[in-house]
Structure formats: structure tokens, C-alpha cells
Structure 1
Amino acid sequence: MFQPSMFDNHHHLLDMIAKPPSEGEMGSLRDDDFENKSGTENMEFPSGEDPDPNQRPKKKRYHRHTQHQIQELEAFFKECPHPDDKQRKELSRELGLEPLQVKFWFQNKRTQMKAQHERQENSVLKAENEKLQVENSRYREALANATCPNCGGPAALGEMSFDEQHLRIENARLREEIDRISGIAAKYVGKPLTSYSQLSPHMAGPGHSFDHGIGSFGPQSGLVGEMYGGGDLLRSISLPTEANKPMIVELAVAAMEELIRIAQAGEPLWIPGDHYTEVLNEDEYLRTFPRGIGPKPLELRSEASRDSAVVIMNHISLVETLMDVNQWSRVFCGIVSRAMTIQVLSTGVAGNYNGALQVMTAEFQVPSPLVPTRENYFVRYCKQHADGMWAVVDVSLDSLHPGAVPRSRRRPSGCLIQELPNGYSKVIWVEHVEVDDRAVHNIYRQLVDSTIAFGAKRWVSTLDRQCERLASSMANNIPAGDLCVITTPEGRKSMLKLAERMVMSFSSGVGASMAHVWTTLSATGSDDVRVMTRKSADDPGRPPGIVLSAATSFWLPVPPKRVFDFLRDENSRSEWDILSNGGEVQEMAHIANGRDPGNCVSLLRVNSPNSSQSNMLILQESCTDSTGSYVIYAPVDIVSMNVVLSGGDPDYVALLPSGFAILPDGPSLSNGGSGGILEVGSGGSLLTVAFQILVDSAPNAKLSLGSVATVNSLIKCTVERIKAAVTCDHNP
């Protein structure tokens, strides 16, 4: 809660800094004295004698400068306010002054300029402080006249969590003002201070200014439209106005209270669902929260699930990951196809994210062009609780744009994070959305309806797997099986970093999002291949020229694990990989990055009888959890890969990733789906195949229809090979 003493201390600090120096302190800096005196005020005692404490020493007389001397000194000061010994001697010779006189003149001039600048800054700060005082008083009056949202009567101070949070935001702004004042004070007294913004890592970061969004209080709304492209629902989103901010805060606080209650509740609010998860009892939810947070449009379907896990990441790092849009997008790159922080309303308190509040946009995807993405405009609120638990909640802000008709909206969703010993955390995740998913393809219908596609189980499983991967990348003790061509911990980390970028690039082009740098060339149909194109020129991580991306999804009457094991095995690669041209594939390096043997990064060598492809290298990452699996790979240049293996920067290695996303076709069956599979939803797999191919490296190249036909032919040939191989092996 806002404390008056905090504001008083802030005001006192401002007054201390803004108060002009006393007459005695500034006596030597008066303009008339400065222009006419040399500044040599040193006390003078008889040579060789100690000063008598009872005898008042004499001062040297001032040596007045001529107008010509002052003009010359002023002109030199504009060019060089800090002359060295040689320059001072030259000036003294030209102007007929002692070098010491010149030195003191420049010292006094610099002091005068600092004082003038300080007075100007103090005037501005004082005006801003008064403005903050008035604004804070207005919120105090609102607090005094507030009513209870449940009964409509007067609200007690302890009940007003909304107003408490609103005042906390105001205090955050006051702290920023204190930080500015402290910075100015440090500038003149020469003491370095840690700024408040430096304690908030999500407010800054090299190379992420665009991804972080528009910053706080003063952005340009046009950037949102540029980020989300033409024809996009999120393009119409504008920044919250000052009038909307109290409503956003109230909504965030109410969402936090609901999330905490719903995450910790048991039956009958939560009932067992498919795939070892919990689903929300909608009738019980409406009885527990009769008012809810906004009405549900009739065309939207409710979907809510809950899951939990213990992950190998400490609670502070986990909170930072969720509150930093770049880290969040990177960890959940398979789910979050794009995300952006529109405005930061509060940075939190005490240098952490407690009380942080930010308006965001995000698009969530399933790795298939047959499942429409879900776009959301929401506020994210983080809060620390007294029992050592943190909570992060999202809730949609559709009410700010009453004219828009969203296809997806987030009711209070997020997670509770409980600190555990040894750097572990327990996470309880809740996903509660309302969505219009009528455009989902029939073969993905059961997957989406069972909440596996977008639900809490997928978020928790992805987080658990990514935490294991992060722990592996930070390990310094390399197992003997990892060595092969990797001889140093630095080489191991560089290879994992390159693989991470490969996975992120693959995820950006495999879903149904239309808002990336890709241009769609063909619409998606039941059996069509979606083909997209883009030109890359300046990105060192991509080869320059025209790149085609092709993706298609289909159903296989084979369990997902069987498909995953087949595609990731280098010994069976020649059965489907046209790139290997029937050559023998050898694993040169292997880095395990999870409990499951399928979670690993490999470096493969293709020993092809075709001399043009001899000794080609392939970087591959495979990963799996209970909600899906991936096998992603990219051909790599041998010279560049040698740089990576020696610990060099992997960001300049050009990659064009291709690969597979393998999802269950619905809830898992008790028999594992083995044998007698006849229809979708009985234990089969949903396989997405995606390729990225450089069709022309010329800077001014144009796309030809022949290139599109070639890519279509390539992907369809690969699909037929995979179907023949896995169905033949599964049903001998």
C-alpha cells in the first residue's frame, strides 16, 4: 500500500537537491566575479613558517582579466573544456597569464556550467514532482469514495485490492522519479548508483527493442499494425488510454484472485479428463463465479484444463521467463508463434516482478497448417504471495475494443509457482479460454476438443522439457558419449545454441499463422500443401535469396512413438530422406538434453555415393513429451560447423530447417493404440511435414512456378515414402 512517508521522503530528497547553494558556497561562481577574477583564492603564509592558528591568514589578491583574455578563454572553452598542461601553457603564453591562473579559470568555468545545468534540471524535476503529487491525491480521493464490487456499499480499506494495486502502480512511477533524481545527484557527486531500470531486466535488452514492444507511456501505436500485418485481427489493437488503465488494473486484480482460487480447488470444480489431465466443470464454475469476468459470446466454446509438474528451474528464473516476452516466446516457441509487449503499466517493486503489469498480444499455434491460430490481446499480471508462492495471470482485454469480435479470448489463465529446494519449482498451470474453433480440420478435431492441442498439459510438458534442455546446455561435465567431435564445453554450448535457433526457425513457418515474413502462395485444403515464400538478404542466420517453405499434415494409423522413433533414427533415414540420396548416415556427435532418450541433438554425416553431396553434415534435434514430438534438421556447411564445434559464435551459421511435428490424433488409449487402427482418434498419429528450400540465391531473383512445383513434388514424395515405410513396418 502507498505510504505517505515514502512520498514525503521523495519530496524531501527533491527539495534537498533542488535547493540552491548558499551565498557563501556560490560566492566564487557569480558571473561578475567569474569574469573578472582569476580564481586564485589560496591562502598565503610566510615562506617556511607554520600557520599560527590565532592569526588570520591573508588572501591573495584577485588578478582581473581583460575583456580580450575572457573572450579568448571562453572561445577555447567551447572547443575544449578540459585542456591539458600543454594547452594551458600555450594559452597562458598567448594571453599573458600564469598557467595556474588559466587552470583555475577553467575549473571555475566548469563548476559554473554544472551549477547552471543543475538548477535547470531541478526546476524541471520539481514541476514533475508537483504533477505527481496532484495525480496521487486524485487516486487517494478515489480510494476514499470507492464502493465494494460485490455489494455496492462502502468498501473497507483492507478490501480494496484494486485500489491498493493502483496506488502501487503510482508508487512505481514515483520510484522511477526518485531514480532519475538519484542519477542526477550521482552525476555531480561522482558516486555510481544502480538505477531502478537496471533492476528490471524486461525493460531493456540489446537487440530486443522491437520484440519488447513499445515501452511504457509514450509509444507510437503504429508499430502494432506493422508487427501484425495486413488482414490481421490484432492489427486493429491500439494502446490503452489513461482512462482505460484503472479498468485494466481492476480486471488484472480480479483475474489474479480467480486464478489462485481455481488453481488450488479440487472436485467438483475440476474433474478427471482425457490424457491424464483435469478439465473444468463448467456448471460448477458458473456457480462458483456467477459474475465471471465479462460475458461469453454465444459463438465461443469454453475450454479449460489444469496440469502440474515439478520442473528443474528456480522460481525467480521461472517468473523472469514468463514476464520477459522474448524469453517466454523462446521457451514456448512451439506454442507461441509470435508475441509482443504493447505497454508496461507497472514494472514491479523492489527490483523484481512483484506487482508487474503489462499489456500484451500473442498468437498461439499447433504445428500444422490445418489448425487456425488463436490470437489474444490481454494483460499479464505477476504477484508474490506471503507463503513463498508466485502467480502469473493473463486475462483478455476485449472490452477495450467493443467493436471487435474475437475468435479467442483468455479467461483468467496462468500458473502458480511454488519454490522447492535445490533449485526446483512446482508449477500448477491453468488454461481457460473461450474460442471459435469451427475452422479446425476434421482430423485435428479430437485433439483440439480434448485440450491436448492448446491446454495446460501442453504448456507444462513443454516447460518441463525446456527446463531439462536448459540444464543440459549449462552443464560443464560432458558425458563420455557426448564427446566424439565435441571436445570442449564451449563447443557443446554453441552446438545446442545453434540447434535452438534451428527449432525456433522451424516453428515460425510450420503453423497456420499468416503474420510472419512469409507470403502464402496456395491456400490450405484437405490434401493441399501450403507453400510460402520469403526473401532474405541481411540476416546472417539465413542464406540470401528466395526461400520456399512447404508444409502439409496428414493422418497415419500408427502410434506417435513409432513414427517418432522411425524419423529420428539415422539408420532409417535413407528410407525417406531424398537429401541423403540413399547414402549411409553416421552419427558423429550426440548430446542428450532430457530424461527421455529421444530428447537429443545430433550431428550426422551423409556418406553419399554422389560426389557432390559427399561428407554433407546434418544438424538434427529431436524432442518428445506426452503431448507431441518433433524431429527437426538442417544441412550445415562443414567449415561453419567446425567453428561452432570449437566454441565459435553460431549466430552466423546459415540454416534452412526442415522437419516433422508428430501429434497424437486424440486422447491416448489404455492399450497404446496398437493394432486394428481404422479411424482418426483411435491411437494414430497426426504428422506435419515441413521443408524450407533455397530456390535462388541471386539478390534480384524472382520466384518461378517451376520452383513451386518442384517443392510440391518433393514434399509429396517424402510423404509417400514415410507412409509406405511406417505402415509396412507396423502392419507386416
Structure 2
Amino acid sequence: MFQPNIFDADHHHMLDMAPNSPENEFGKIIREDDFEARSGAETTLEAPSGEDQDPNQRSKRKRYHRHTQSQIQEMEAFFKECPHPDDKQRKELSRHLGLEPLQVKFWFQNKRTQMKAQHERHENAILKAENEKLRAENTRFKEALGNASCPNCGGPAALGEMSFDEQHLRIENVRLREEIDRLSGIAAKYVGKPLSSYSQLSTHVPSRSLDLGAGNFGAQSGFVGEMYGGSNDLLRSISGPTEADKPLIVELAVAAMEELIRMAQGGEPLWVSCDNSAEILNEEEYLRTFPRGIGPKPLGLKSEASRESVVVIMNHMNLVEILMDVKRWSSVFCGIVSRAMTLDVLSTGVAGNYNGALQVMTAEFQVPSPLFPTRENYFVRYCKQHVDGTWAVVDVSLDNLRPGMISRSRRRPSGCLIQELPNGYSKVVWVEHVEVDDRAVQSMYRPLLNSGLAFGAKRWVATLDRQCERLASSMASNIPAGDLCVITSTEGRKSMLKLAERMVMSFCTGVGASTAHAWTTLSATGSDDVRVMTRKSMDDPGRPPGIVLSAATSFWIPVPAKRIFDFLRDENSRREWDILSNGGLVQEMAHIANGRDPGNCVSLLRVNSANSSQSNMLILQESCTDSIGSYVIYAPVDIVAMNVVLSGGDPDYVALLPSGFAILPDGPGLNGGGIHEVGSCGSLLTVAFQILVDSVPSAKLSLGSVATVNSLIKCTVEKIKSALMCESS
């Protein structure tokens, strides 16, 4: 079987498929600069001062130990992850490096002192430069005022003749233009003023930016609002913010950013560690730490809070751009975000990036199952770069601005911190904190929901990590040829991956419980567990014209998720469940790996039908898996169109009707032994089909077509259960 290497040996930022020990990972991900290598090479073998120092040793001469370059690299790497190691960590590190625990302890003390000094010098330099600019501008204003004439008498105007408010506005105009990126300080100080007082400042703001720092929310027309993939009733009764709401939104966003930072960086007692390495938010400590927030929790809502971190193979700025572009954000997290829309852009950011960007949004979040209710949120998203270079993106609900709106879900400050690492990597700390009415969730999904795997931070970072690997593979070059490779160019490879990406997105938009897309849900289908929808396709080049039916159902099965994933993605076992293949032999023609897990790949399959009267058929398939769930998604493709794609042609004109499977664990990985019940390490399997039932869009849908689709999905479910249960028994 052909499985080309997706990684370019000439580029160290690509993934390493070989397993690495944690020690080797430290050296691979983190690399210190020359200054840090010189300053950290010597460690004083004597406690610097205080109670740790033995009084009898104070008169002795200090001894120094010069560490090796390898020791410095590993301690630098460890410092990036944990600047304050405890006794156990210091002992393990000293044993690994061949040093004494005291040597490790003093090295970390010296390093923290050095980093603090560097940070203070950097801040002092910035503040000094800003102060000099303000002084120069202030001097210029005084000189200009000295040459001005009085409008009443024509004589020279003294500074005292200008009102205090006018002086204040002129000086603060300069300060705002110089410190526009410090949105939190500006908003906290000036948002409380009437909007009219800011209109005098707007003349100095560049026209390209809806500049939040100037406070002129109303004067700039044309706030951007973009909608992707949703229907016209996406927002239902929700509209963009009013002029009176905008100062309140700014103030709320600034407070949410401060809360996110503390939630992401805080430890006990705010976050309490559990035996399974998970963290639980201490609700009492949270209310003491953040007494105001977005208000008390409404009756009937339940709190969900989680925090996870991950190192991903993507540049930090690319991550920020994905999160702030609603179309790319929806695409990367298509398994979680079923629809999203930007209602208003209050600030586009400054200096050509998203620092200070502020957007009012709405989104719907889903679990890949038609039986799991979706969650809708109306919120503001705020992006900021902090002094240490870390970027943060925070969401917080705006439900309080709509007193009459009843919400089943609202987001307390949630989002992520993004830290730049060497070689194109980034460290992401993700916080999810929501309040939700979950009473409509079926009992089958309760263990998944209560474990935090349905909507928690772990699902977000697992999806992000897998998608970053996929994007990295799409940019790989120097792919070695193989006997099964039919992709003759890099363009062909990218085109095939793009086609597979569209297939996955189309599957995800139709498999969940959202009804906001172009589908029409049919009633009286004969089954409460199978959701059947229909839509007419006419002018969309990416779909075949005619009437399309989509059917989806979910069920629990006492088989581990990995076993189901391996069974469904294996072409050798496809004949056991795939009615489409009609018992024919399935052969893999091409294989593109797009992640470190061998299950993450895009394949082109050929079905040699057992019926000689039928022509051979091609199937495009993508399988992907992470620590939370797995997908196996496929679609029949036209041979002629696929040849165009493999030659680097535009994949947007290839008609696709994706079908497939979404596989989730039924809980937090409990070991239930032989107990066959939900929560005993079984799986939640969703099966979905899209089928063209009539090639004429104007034709009427027959009940016979609905019955046929129902029978197809039920037959497939029985075949999968039979095959897997026999193997498990």
C-alpha cells in the first residue's frame, strides 16, 4: 500500500512521525538564543541569600559550575513549560542531566531573575519612548497655541483661555493614537464618557480602521457583517448591537480579557486537580475572584468549565488569523461549529494585524449527532497582544444586552492564549466556561457531556491539533513517489486535499441537529431515531443537480471507538457494511497521510463491482482521529472529474454527496470490563447518508424515496453491529 512521507526533510517545522521521549521533545521544540546560553551557562553553587543560606557558609568563597550546552538546552526547554519546578521535578531533572538538585534549583532561580530583569528593561524602554513622544507632541501643542489668535479680539490667545475639556481632548487625542493597541486601558478610562465627546477625535483616525480606541463608534458607517453557510433566519430575532450598546460591549470585552488571562494562568485554589489529571473549576473561588462578571447564573442553567493546553505545529499569527476570520474558524472547527456569523466589527485591529480587533458574533455549536441539541450563543470576540508577546482571543456572551431574549446557553469568558515557540510551533492554552440548560440531552449522551468531551476545552484543542497537522501536510513538499501514487504533481496533491476538505465540511453541516442550513426536515418518517432531510440542488457546481435526501441516526454500541474506526476505514472490511460497493473488491489507489496518526489520511478507492455490467467506481475517503473522536467520510466521485483534480485542476466543480460516520467515546474512558452499558467504554456511532433520489430539481419527492433511505440506513446499522459484535464476542 502506498503511503508517502508527508514531511519535508529540509524543513524542521514539519511533523516528526517517529516517537520521541519527553526529554528529546524539550530539545526539539525549544532552542535558546546566544544571550541566554551565555547567561545561563554558569550556576552558583551557593544559595544566594535569605533563609536558604547556611550562616556558617557565608564567608566561604563562591564556587561556580559551568553547565554543558546540552544541559542548558534541556533546562531552557523545561523553563519554557514550567518556570517554577517543584522538588520532585527538580530531582527528576537533575537525575536526567547528571546534576545536583541544588544546581538545578539555583539555575532556575538565576534564570527567573534574568527574565524578570529583561522584561523590566524592555518595558522601561517602551515607556520611555512613549513618554518622549507625548512630551514632544505636548510641546508642539503649546507652541501652536502660543501663535494662535483670540477669535473675539484678534489678540494672542493664552493657554488659560482654552477650556479644560478642550485641552484634555487635544492631549488625549495624541495619547490614543500612540497607544491605540492598549485597548483595555483606553476603554476603562474613556468609555464612560458620552459618545458625542469622542466625535472630535475621529478626524485623526485612519479611515481604514473602525478604530475602537478613538471611541467614535457611530461616526464610521459600514460596519462589516458577513454570513457564511447559513440561512436567512440564522439570527432569528438577534441583530447587531445598537449605538448605545457599543461602549458597554467594549467594557465587557476588556473585563473578559482580564478574566481569561487569570483563568488560563491560575492554579489552585481556582482550579483543583483530579486523580485523572483533569482540572475542575472551584465555583466558590471563582465567584470570589470574579464577583462581577456577566451577572449571576440564571435559574435552570448548569456551569461547565474546563482548561487544556497543547503544542501545535502552526505559527502563532496564523492561529490568530484563523480565530478572527469567521469563515476559516468555521472551517477548521467544522465538527464543532455548525454555523457562524459576524454581525458587527467594532475594531479591525491596528498595525496591520488583529491586535485590538473586536467583533460581535453569533454561532451554533454541535456534537456530530442528530440526537444531540445544539447550542446557540450571541457574543463578542476580542483579540489582544500582550506585553510579553502572548496573544489572547476571548469570547463573552452579550445576552444581558437583550433583556427579553431567553438563552439556553451563554458563554462566560472563554477562549485561548497563544504563545510563540521556535520552529513554527505554538503553545495554546484553551479555556471553556459556559452556562447551559442541558435537560434536553438524551441519557445516552450524558456520560459524554458530564466528562467534558462534548463541548469542553479538550475537544477544542484536540480538533485544533489535528487540523494543524492536516494543514502542515498540505504544505509538505518533496513527497516520494510510490507504486500506487497517481498524483503527478504537488498541485494535484493540494487539489485532492482541498476536495476532501470540502467533503468533510459538507458532511459535518448535515450530520448535526442544526436546522439552519438549506435542508428541510421531513416529518412522519416512521422513526424518531432517524432524521431525514431534503434539499433541491440546481446551480451549485459542487453538488449534483436534483433532489437530495439526507438521513442520519446515532446509536450506542459496546465496542471501543478505535476498533470501530479501524474497521470502517479499512478497505478490506468495506464489503461487510457498504451496500454501495455491492460486494465488490475495494482497492486503494492513492493515499495521502495528513497527521502523525496512521488513521489520519485521504484515500482514493476503486470498487471493482462483482456485477460485470456495472462500470468501476471511485470513492474519495478521508479518515481522521484524535483523542476525542473519529470520522470516516466518503463520497463517490466521477472518474473524469477526479483525473482533473489529480492533475491539479479546480476541485470546486467536482460534485459530491458525502456520507460517513462520526465516532465518539461514550464517556471519559471508563473501564467497565464486561458490563455492556452506556459509560462502560463503548462508543456512540452516528451514521449519515446523502443520496440523489431524482436528478430533476423540479420533481416532487415521493414517500417511496424516503422509505428507501430509511431502509438503507437501518440495513447499514445492522450490518455494522453484526460485524463488530461478532468480532468482539
Normalising to structure 1: TM-score of the pair? 0.71
1:704 aligned residue: 702
Q: What is residue 719 of structure 2 aligned with on the other side?
A: 721
The aligned counterpart of 1:572 is: 573
Alignment-derived partner of residue 268 in structure 1 = 269
AA aligned to 2:693 is V
Which residue identity does 1:539 align to in structure 2?
D
Secondary structure of the residue that 1:236 maps to in structure 2?
Answer: coil
Determine which of 148, 160, 163 is the counterpart of 2:189: 163
- Report the structure number with the largest CA radius of gyration: 1
* Alpha-carbon distance in structure 2 between the residues aligned to 1:729 and 1:387: 55
Q: CA deviation at 1:484?
A: 1.4
The offset of 1:365, in angstroms, is 0.3
Q: Which amino acid aligns with 2:397?
A: S
Distance in 1 separating the partners of 2:455 and 2:518: 24
User: Are positions 1:508 and 2:506 aligned together?
Assistant: no
1:203 corresponds to: none
Deviation at 1:290, TM superposition (A): 2.3
**2:413 aligns to what?**
412
Q: CA deviation at 1:218?
A: 3.6
- In structure 1, what is the equivalent of residue 326 of structure 2? 325
CA contact (8 A) 1:347 1:355 kept: yes
Q: Which amino acid aligns with 1:599?
A: N
TM alignment of 1:307-318, pairs within 5 A: 307-318=308-319
Indicate how the Cα distance of structure 1 residues 166 and 287 shifts in structure 2: closer, same or farther if over 3 A, else same.
closer
Query: 2-side partners of 1:138 and 1:711: how far apart?
Result: 70
TM norm structure 2:
0.71
Contact 1:502 1:657 survives alignment (8 Å): yes
Name the structure 2 match of 1:584: 585
Which deviations, in whole Å up to 9, do the C-alpha atoms of 1:332-385 show, x marking residues without a partner?
000000001110001111111111001000000000011100000000000101
CA distance in 2, matches of 1:625, 1:261: 28
Deviations 1:489-534 (A, max 9, x none): 1111100000000000000000000111000003799852100000
Q: Match of 2:335, as an amino acid?
A: G
The equivalent residue for 1:667 is 668
Mark the CA change 1:258 to 1:529 in structure 2 (over 3 Å): closer, same or farther. Answer: same
SS in 2 for 1:656: coil
Residue 464 in 1 paired to residue 465 in 2? Answer: yes
Which SS does the other structure have where 1:321 is aligned? Answer: helix
2:684 corresponds to 1:683: no
Write the mapping of 1:73-152 to structure 2, written as runs, cut at 5 A: 137=169
Task: Classify 1:440/1:158 alpha carbon distance in 2 versus 1 (closer, same or farther; 3 Å).
Answer: closer
1:693 counterpart SS class: strand
Contact persistence 2:223–2:346 (CA under 8 A):
no
Displacement of 1:281: 1.9
1: CA distance, partners of 2:260 / 2:504: 32
Q: 1:314 to 1:482 in 2, by over 3 A?
A: farther
Given residue 695 of structure 2, which amino acid in structure 1 is its aligned partner?
S
Name 1:154's counterpart in structure 2: none
User: C-alpha displacement at 1:477, in angstroms?
Assistant: 1.8
CA contact (8 A) 1:542 1:654 kept: yes
8 Å CA contact retained: 1:196, 1:351: no
Q: Is the 8 A contact 1:10 1:178 kept in 2?
A: no
Q: Distance in 2 between matches of 1:172 and 1:526?
A: 61
- The one-letter code of the counterpart of 2:496 is M
Higher alpha-carbon deviation: 609-618 or 316-325:
609-618
Q: 1:333 to 1:174 in 2, by over 3 A?
A: farther
Alignment of 1:237-248 (within 5 A): 237-248=238-249
AA paired with 1:608? S
Q: CA deviation at 1:402?
A: 0.4
1:150 is matched with none
CA distance in 1, matches of 2:395, 2:250: 12
Please list, as runs of the form range in 1=range in 2, the aligned pairs for 1:545-624 lying within 5 A after superposition: 545-624=546-625
Question: Does the aligned pair in 1 maintain the 2:224–2:343 contact within 8 Å?
Answer: no
Instruction: Assess if the C-alpha contact under 8 Å between 1:482 and 1:590 holds in 2.
Output: no
Give, in angstroms, the shift of residue 488 of structure 1: 1.1
After TM superposition, the structure 1 = structure 2 runs for residues 34-73 of structure 1, keeping only pairs within 5 Å, are none
Q: Cα–Cα, structure 1 residues 5 and 518, in superposed 2: closer, same or farther, change >3 Å?
A: farther
Paired letter, 2:707? A
Query: 1:294–1:580: structure 2 CA closer, same or farther, 3 Å change rule?
Result: same
Does the 8 Å contact 2:228/2:327 carry over to 1? Answer: no
Q: CA deviation at 1:228?
A: 5.0
Greater relative contact order, per chain length (Cα 8 Å cut-off, separation 6+): 2
Partners of 2:527 and 2:329 in 1: how far apart? 33
Deviates more, 1:269-278 or 1:640-649: 269-278
| 3-state SS in 2 of match to 1:695 | strand
Q: Is the 8 A contact 2:230 2:340 kept in 1?
A: no
Q: Work out whether residues 358 and 380 of structure 1, in 8 Å CA contact, stay in contact via their aligned partners in 2.
A: yes
Amino acid in structure 2 at the alignment position of 1:355: G
Moved more, 265-274 or 370-379: 265-274
Alignment map for 1:643-662 (pairs within 5 Å):
643-662=644-663
How far off is 1:388 after superposition?
A: 1.3
Q: C-alpha displacement at 1:162, in angstroms?
A: 2.1
- Residue segments in structure 1 that go unaligned for 5+ positions in a row: 12-132, 145-156, 181-194, 200-214
TM-aligned CA deviation for residue 479 of structure 1: 3.6
The CA distance in 2 between the partners of 1:523 and 1:623, in whole Å, is 34
Measure the CA separation in 1 of the matches of 2:642 and 2:625.
Answer: 25
Does the CA-based 8 Å contact 1:252-1:380 persist in structure 2? yes
State whether residues 370 and 524 of structure 1, in contact with CA within 8 Å, keep that contact through their aligned partners in structure 2.
no
* Aligned pairs (5 A) from 1:343-492: 343-481=344-482, 484-492=485-493
SS in 1 for 2:236: helix
C-alpha contact 1:225 1:236 (8 A) present in aligned 2: no
Q: What CA distance in whole angstroms lies between the structure 2 residues aligned with 1:336 and 1:678?
A: 32
Distance 1:543 1:305, change over 3 A: same
Compared CA separation, residues 470 and 164, structure 1 to 2 (3 A): farther
Deviations 1:425-457 (A, max 9, x none): 000000000000111111011101111000000
Task: Letter of the 2:325 partner, please give it.
Answer: D
- The alignment yields a C-alpha RMSD, in angstroms, of 3.6
User: What stretches of structure 2 of length at least 5 have no aligned partner?
Assistant: 1-129, 142-164, 177-182, 212-218
1:163 offset after TM fit, Å?
Answer: 3.1
1:284 CA displacement: 2.0
Change (3 A) 1:468 1:437: same
Q: How does 1:251-266 map to 2 (within 5 A)?
A: 251-266=252-267
CA contact (8 A) 1:482 1:589 kept: no
Taking a change above 3 Å as real, the CA distance of residues 160 and 349 of structure 1, as seen in their structure-2 partners, is closer
Aligned length: 561
Matched residue, 1:536: 537
Matched, 1:628 2:629: yes
Superposed CA deviations along residues 107-132 of structure 1, whole A, max 9, x for unmatched, are xxxxxxxxxxxxxxxxxxxxxxxxxx
SS at match of 1:506: helix
CA contact (8 A) 2:224 2:344 kept: no
8 Å Cα contact 1:172/1:349 also seen in 2: no
Distance apart, 1:196 and its partner CA: 6.6
Q: How far apart in 2 are the matches of 1:464 and 1:229?
A: 33
Could you tell me how far 1:699 is from its partner in structure 2? 3.1
Matched AA of 2:642: M
Is the contact between residue 315 and residue 426 of structure 2 (CA under 8 Å) also seen in structure 1?
yes
- The structure-2 alpha-carbon separation of the partners of 1:645 and 1:697, relative to structure 1 and needing over 3 Å to count, comes to same
Distance 1:351 1:159, change over 3 A: closer
Which residue identity does 1:162 align to in structure 2? A
SS of residue paired to 2:268: coil
